[in-house]
Structure 1
Amino acid sequence: MIDSNVINVDSDCKVGTVYFNKDKEIDIDVKGNGRIISNKVERGENEKIDNKIIILTGPQIDLSSVKDSLIITDFGYTKDSVNYEVASGEGVTLTGTTDKAIIIDSIRDVSLHNAKATGTFTVEQPNKVNVQIVGDTRVNNLVVEDGGGLAFYGDGVMHLTGEGFNMGNIILDEVEVIQEGIFNNSGTLVNENNIINEGVINNIEGATFNNKFNIENKGIINNLGEFNNEKEANIQNDKFIYNIGEFNNKVGATFDNNSVIENKYKLRNEGTLRNYEGTIENYYSVAGTILGNQPIYVYDGAKEVKSLDIQAGGEKEDKIGLDIWQMNSRILGIQKDRVNIRTSEDTTNAIVGISFALNKLSEQRSMLGAYQNRLEHTIRNLDNAVENTTSAESGIRDTDMAKEMVEYSNNNIVAQASQAMLAQANQLNGGVLNLLK
Structure 2
Amino acid sequence: MADVRRRRGFPASANDKGLAAPAASPPTPRYTATLIFGSVCLAAYIALFARHARDLDAELCRSIAISFCMSVGAFFAVIRLVPVVARYVLKRNMFGYDINKKGSPAGSIQVPESLGIVTGFVFVVVTILFQIFCFSPDSAWLLEYNAALTSILFMILLGFVDDVLDIPWRVKLLLPSFAALPLLMAYAGHTTIVIPKPLRAYLEMEVLDLGVLYKVYMGLLAVFCTNAVNILAGVNGLEVGQTLVISSAILIHNMMQIVSSSDADYQQAHAFSIYLTQPLVGASLGLLCYNWYPSSVFVGDTYTYFAGMTMAVAGILGHFSETLLLFFLPQIINFVYSIPQLFKWVPCPRHRLPSFEPKTGLLTGSKDMNLVNLFLRWFGRCTERQLCIRLLIFQGLCSGFCFLLRFLMAGWYK
State which structure, 1 or 2, has the greater radius of gyration over its C-alpha atoms: 1
Q: Per residue, is there more strand in 1 or in 2?
A: 1
| Larger relative contact order (Cα-Cα within 8 Å, sequence gap ≥ 6) | 2
Q: Give the TM-score taking structure 2 as reference length.
A: 0.21
Q: Give the TM-score taking structure 1 as reference length.
A: 0.20
Q: Per residue, is there more helix in 1 or in 2?
A: 2
